[in-house]
A and B are shown apart, each in its own frame.
Chain A
Amino acid sequence: MTRKLKKTGLIISLSFLILFLLSATWLLAGGDLLIKNATILTVTGGVITNGDVLVVNGLIKQIGQNLAAPAGVRIIEANGRYLMPGIIDTHTHIALSGTNEGTDAVTPEVTMAEVVNADDTSIFTALSGGVTMVHTMHGSANVIGGTNVVLKLKWGKPSEQLIVKEAYPTLKFALGENVKQSSGTLLPGRPQRYPATRMGANALIRSELLQARDYMAAWDRYEELKKSKNPPANLLPPRKDLRLETLADLLRGKLVARCHGYVATEMLEFLNLSKEFGFKIGAFEHAWEAYKITNELKAAGVGISVFIDSWAYKMEAAEGIAYNAAYCTKKGLLVSINSDSGERIRRLFNEAGKAVKYGLTRDEALKLITINAAKQLGVDRLVGSIEVGKQADLALFSQHPMSAYTRCEMTIIEGEVYFDREALIKERAAASTKKGDLS
Chain B
Amino acid sequence: MKLTITTAQALLKNKNQLFLAAILLSLTLLTPCFSLAQQPAAQAQKDSEIIAIVGAKIVPVTGPVIESGSILIKNGRIADLGPNISIPAGAKVIEAKGLTAYPGMIDSYSWLGLEEISGVRATVDNRETGRINPQVKAIEALRYDSMHIPIARANGIVAAVVAPSGGLISGQSTLVKLDGWTNREMVIKESLAMIIELPAIRRSRGGFSGFRGQQPQVTTEKTLDELRQVFKKARMYEKRREAARKNILLPLPEFDEASHFLLPVVKGELPVIFSVHADKDILQTIKFVQEEKIKAIFYGVEQGFKVAKEIKEAGIPCLMGSLYSLPPVWEDGYDALFLNPVILNQAGVKIAFSSSSASAAKDLPYQAAKAAAFGLKPEEALKAVTIYPAEIFGVDKLLGSLEPGKTANIVLADGDLLELGTKIQKVFIDGKEVSLENRYTELLKKFEQREANK
Beta-carbon contact of B33 and A350 below 8 Å? no
Q: What does the 1/0 interface line of B417-454 toward A look like (CB < 8 Å)?
A: 01111110000000000000001110110011011001
Q: Does A312 reach chain B (CB closer than 8 Å)?
A: yes
Known: A322-B440, A405-B369, A406-B373. A347 touches B119 (CB 8 A): no
Task: Report the separation of the CA atoms of residues A327 and B440 in the bound assembly, to the nearest whole angstrom.
Answer: 12
Beta-carbon contact of B119 and A121 below 8 Å? no
Beta-carbon contact of B420 and A125 below 8 Å? no
Known: A295-B454, A350-B420, A356-B421. A125 touches B326 (CB 8 A): yes
Q: Is the interface of B mostly helix, strand, loop or mixed?
A: loop
Which residues between 284 and 337 of chain A lie within 8 Å of chain B, taking CB atoms? 291-292, 294-295, 309-315, 317-319, 321-323, 327, 331
Beta-carbon contact of B421 and A362 below 8 Å? yes
Q: Does B324 reach chain A (CB closer than 8 Å)?
A: yes
Interface residues on B, range: 35 or more
**A291 interface neighbour in B324, B378, B422, B444, Cβ under 8 Å:** B444
How far in angstroms is the closest Cβ of chain B from A291?
Answer: 6
Q: Does B288 reach chain A (CB closer than 8 Å)?
A: no
Q: What does the 1/0 interface line of B305-331 toward A look like (CB < 8 Å)?
A: 000000000000000000011100010
Beta-carbon contact of B374 and A357 below 8 Å? no
Beta-carbon contact of A292 and B447 below 8 Å? yes
Beta-carbon contact of B365 and A404 below 8 Å? yes
Q: Does B118 reach chain A (CB closer than 8 Å)?
A: yes
Residues of B within 8 A of A124 (CB): 334
Q: Does B366 reach chain A (CB closer than 8 Å)?
A: yes
How far in angstroms is the closest Cβ of chain A from B154?
Answer: 10
Task: Report the separation of the CA atoms of residues A313 and B360 in the bound assembly, to the nearest whole angstrom.
Answer: 10
Beta-carbon contact of B373 and A405 below 8 Å? yes
Known: A291-B444, A327-B444, A343-B324. A404 touches B366 (CB 8 A): yes
Known: A125-B326, A406-B373, A407-B373. A183 touches B119 (CB 8 A): yes
Q: Does B244 reach chain A (CB closer than 8 Å)?
A: no
Which residues between 98 and 135 of chain A lie within 8 Å of chain B, taking CB atoms? 120-121, 124-125, 128
Residues of B within 8 A of A346 (CB): 334
Residue with the greatest number of chain A CB neighbours at <10 A, chosen from B360, B378, B440, B454: B440
**B373 interface neighbour in A317, A323, A327, A404, Cβ under 8 Å:** A404
Task: Report the separation of the CA atoms of residues A407 and B326 in the bound assembly, to the nearest whole angstrom.
Answer: 16
Beta-carbon contact of A321 and B439 below 8 Å? yes
Residues of A within 8 A of B360 (CB): 309-310
Beta-carbon contact of A318 and B33 below 8 Å? yes
Q: Does A202 reach chain B (CB closer than 8 Å)?
A: no
Q: Does B277 reach chain A (CB closer than 8 Å)?
A: no
Q: Does B89 reach chain A (CB closer than 8 Å)?
A: no
Known: A314-B119, A398-B373, A428-B333. A405 touches B210 (CB 8 A): no
Beta-carbon contact of A315 and B420 below 8 Å? no
Beta-carbon contact of A344 and B330 below 8 Å? no
Residue of A nearest to B36 (CB): A319
Residue of A nearest to B358 (CB): A312
Residue of A nearest to B33 (CB): A318
How far in angstroms is the closest Cβ of chain A from B140?
Answer: 23
Beta-carbon contact of B120 and A347 below 8 Å? no
Known: A291-B444, A291-B447, A294-B451. A404 touches B420 (CB 8 A): yes
Task: Report the separation of the CA atoms of residues A311 and B358 in the bound assembly, to the nearest whole angstrom.
Answer: 10
How far in angstroms is the closest Cβ of chain B from A123?
Answer: 12
How far in angstroms is the closest Cβ of chain B from A245?
Answer: 33
Q: Does A342 reach chain B (CB closer than 8 Å)?
A: yes
Beta-carbon contact of A312 and B148 below 8 Å? yes
**A354 interface neighbour in B147, B420, B439, Cβ under 8 Å:** B420
Q: Does B117 reach chain A (CB closer than 8 Å)?
A: yes
Task: Report the separation of the CA atoms of residues A353 and B443 in the bound assembly, to the nearest whole angstrom.
Answer: 22
Q: Does B208 reach chain A (CB closer than 8 Å)?
A: yes
Residue of A nearest to B447 (CB): A292
Q: Does A274 reach chain B (CB closer than 8 Å)?
A: no
Beta-carbon contact of A312 and B359 below 8 Å? yes
Q: Does A402 reach chain B (CB closer than 8 Å)?
A: yes
Task: Report the separation of the CA atoms of residues A312 and B151 in the bound assembly, to the nearest whole angstrom.
Answer: 12
Residues of A within 8 A of B372 (CB): 404-405
Q: Does A403 reach chain B (CB closer than 8 Å)?
A: yes
Residue with the greatest number of chain B CB neighbours at <10 A, chosen from A291, A295, A317: A291
How far in angstroms is the closest Cβ of chain A from B363?
Answer: 8
Beta-carbon contact of A343 and B373 below 8 Å? no
Beta-carbon contact of B451 and A295 below 8 Å? yes
How far in angstroms is the closest Cβ of chain A from B343?
Answer: 13
Residues of B within 8 A of A314 (CB): 117-120
Q: Does B280 reach chain A (CB closer than 8 Å)?
A: no
Beta-carbon contact of B421 and A312 below 8 Å? no
Q: Does B116 reach chain A (CB closer than 8 Å)?
A: yes
Task: Report the separation of the CA atoms of residues A406 and B118 in the bound assembly, to the nearest whole angstrom.
Answer: 30
Q: Does B185 reach chain A (CB closer than 8 Å)?
A: no
How far in angstroms is the closest Cβ of chain B from A370?
Answer: 17
Task: Report the separation of the CA atoms of residues A124 and B333 in the bound assembly, to the nearest whole angstrom.
Answer: 11
Residue of B nearest to A346 (CB): B334
Task: Report the separation of the CA atoms of residues A321 and B117 in the bound assembly, to the nearest whole angstrom.
Answer: 14
Residues of A within 8 A of B450 (CB): 292
Task: Report the separation of the CA atoms of residues A193 and B26 in the bound assembly, to the nearest whole angstrom.
Answer: 22
How far in angstroms is the closest Cβ of chain A from B15?
Answer: 26
Known: A121-B208, A319-B443. A404 touches B370 (CB 8 A): yes
Residues of A within 8 A of B378 (CB): 405
Q: Does B257 reach chain A (CB closer than 8 Å)?
A: no
Task: Report the separation of the CA atoms of residues A124 and B334 in the bound assembly, to the nearest whole angstrom.
Answer: 9
Residue of B nearest to A177 (CB): B119
Task: Report the separation of the CA atoms of residues A315 and B33 in the bound assembly, to the nearest whole angstrom.
Answer: 8
**A121 interface neighbour in B116, B118, B210, Cβ under 8 Å:** B210
Q: Does B49 reach chain A (CB closer than 8 Å)?
A: no
**A357 interface neighbour in B208, B333, B421, Cβ under 8 Å:** B421
Beta-carbon contact of B359 and A321 below 8 Å? no
How far in angstroms is the closest Cβ of chain A from B392?
Answer: 23
Q: What does the 1/0 interface line of B47-90 toward A look like (CB < 8 Å)?
A: 00000000000000000000000000000000000000000000
Beta-carbon contact of A343 and B423 below 8 Å? no
How far in angstroms is the closest Cβ of chain A from B377?
Answer: 11
Q: Does B225 reach chain A (CB closer than 8 Å)?
A: no
Residues of A within 8 A of B448 (CB): 327
How far in angstroms is the closest Cβ of chain A from B417?
Answer: 10
Residues of B within 8 A of A428 (CB): 333
Q: Does B335 reach chain A (CB closer than 8 Å)?
A: yes
Residue of A nearest to B359 (CB): A312
Task: Report the separation of the CA atoms of residues A311 and B420 in the bound assembly, to the nearest whole angstrom.
Answer: 18
Beta-carbon contact of B447 and A313 below 8 Å? no
How far in angstroms is the closest Cβ of chain B from A116?
Answer: 15
Beta-carbon contact of A343 and B326 below 8 Å? yes
Residues of A within 8 A of B333 (CB): 424, 428
Task: Report the separation of the CA atoms of residues A292 and B450 in the bound assembly, to the nearest whole angstrom.
Answer: 8
Residues of B within 8 A of A309 (CB): 360, 362
Residues of A within 8 A of B207 (CB): 121
Residue of B nearest to A398 (CB): B373
21 A-B contacts, Cβ less than 8 Å apart?
Answer: A121-B207, A125-B334, A128-B335, A177-B119, A183-B119, A292-B450, A312-B116, A312-B118, A312-B358, A314-B117, A318-B33, A319-B439, A319-B443, A321-B443, A398-B373, A399-B373, A403-B420, A404-B418, A404-B419, A405-B419, A407-B373
Nearest 3 CB-CB pairs, A to B? A356-B421, A404-B369, A314-B119
- Chain A interface residues (CB < 8 Å from chain B): 120-121, 124-125, 128, 177, 183, 291-292, 294-295, 309-315, 317-319, 321-323, 327, 331, 342-344, 346-347, 350, 353-354, 356-357, 362, 398-399, 402-407, 424, 428
Known: A312-B116, A313-B117, A356-B421. 7 other contacts (CB 8 A): A315-B117, A343-B324, A343-B326, A402-B421, A404-B369, A404-B419, A428-B333
